[in-house]
Structure 1
């Protein structure tokens, strides 16, 4: 698929796929959206002392970067597992400016996240382990990973990739999650919320990031 680098509202860059008419992050601000949706409403909200995170869609690595920074700052040992079917090319990664916008340490971490080997658990820092899996979510065997505390559900929108948002996938994730685990996503579609609820979650609609009225957070009882 063709991917183009575009600027977003907060100065950070993201990727746009003309074929799908879809971008990897909000045009209102890539860093702003990720920080609010996945860090503020997910990682910080969940109280597991050493959380295991599953991310659906490694993409640009922005969610992993922000989580790695937070893990270091809070000295909170974190395991981050990310599924990605179409990894970025090195030329695309080099055009992303997240590290430059955040800090020198963020630049180091961003480089480490992208350079580490796929399909192997890598210690990125004393507080952050990363396992990038090159795989298709719809074919993935969830038994291969440990019980989850936080799920960043960051696939392309339900209207673009409907197969990623089906009830069976939510149920499989629910079954391998710990009690009080949180599933967070940027979408607020009513049908997605109902699928989460039918899978066993208690879901809630929260205020969304800039440019979106609402988002969803689901909790395993």
Structure 2
């Protein structure tokens, strides 16, 4: 799909991308970095590290997008010395031109963003000694895992743009990918999203969100 996109500087100094075709930002304009750190690292990755402390962590991301969530995971895994096997689905990857313009490496003190975007489809790629990546350029409904995951970063476009990805059926698929006790985190806390998660078997927690975001969600698959 051809997209018309432009780089946007968000309130915390980190970049996002605006997709004009669907009138959607990839990250919050109030702060891309702080949103990802709150929703996916604090509530997702760090909680999963604590919960599954005796094993390498497996992470699945719905919506690889700019690569920010993956890059923050690279940094955190390296700081903690905890190995992460990361898989992501992205049907419409960013162009190399758009990806190379993002300022995430400069802000985070990392050097892995280009490697994340250049990683081939359906091939496990070692990015650092503590982080491997497998990307799948397919639809979410076509994804099948070979091993269960400990945490899911659910970062689809908004319910306005992609309502088909916020349904009970999709969340049931997500539940089938997780180990017992596994986690799913997302920025969207709408009532019907919570209900759809519960109908798929999750226990749903509301947590304070980042700037200008009252609440975000962490869903737990009962052990």
Partner of 1:176: 177
Counterparts of 1:49-128 in structure 2 under 5 Å? 49=53, 50-103=56-109, 106=110, 108-128=111-131
Partner of 1:24: 26
- Using the TM superposition, give the Cα deviation of residue 209 of structure 1 relative to its aligned residue in structure 2, in angstroms: 0.9
Segments of 5+ residues of structure 2 without an aligned counterpart are none
TM-score normalised over the length of structure 2: 0.94
Counterparts of 1:120-159 in structure 2 under 5 Å? 120-138=123-141, 140-142=142-144, 144-159=145-160
1:208 matches 2:209 = yes
Output the CA distance in 1 between the equivalents of 2:95 and 2:21: 18
- Using the TM superposition, give the Cα deviation of residue 176 of structure 1 relative to its aligned residue in structure 2, in angstroms: 2.6
- Using the TM superposition, give the Cα deviation of residue 146 of structure 1 relative to its aligned residue in structure 2, in angstroms: 1.1
The CA deviation string for residues 160-211 of structure 1, in whole angstroms up to 9 with x for no partner, is: 1011111111111212311110100001100000010010000011111111
Output the CA distance in 1 between the equivalents of 2:137 and 2:161: 20
> 2:100·2:114 contact (CA, 8 Å) conserved in 1?
no
Output the CA distance in 1 between the equivalents of 2:115 and 2:22: 30
The CA deviation string for residues 44-99 of structure 1, in whole angstroms up to 9 with x for no partner, is: 01122321111000000000000011001101111100000001111101110000
Partner of 1:194: 195
Taking only aligned residues, the RMSD between alpha carbons, in angstroms, comes to 1.0
Output the CA distance in 1 between the equivalents of 2:62 and 2:163: 14
1:4 matches 2:1 = no
When structure 1 is superposed on structure 2, of 85-94 and 46-55 the one drifting more is 46-55
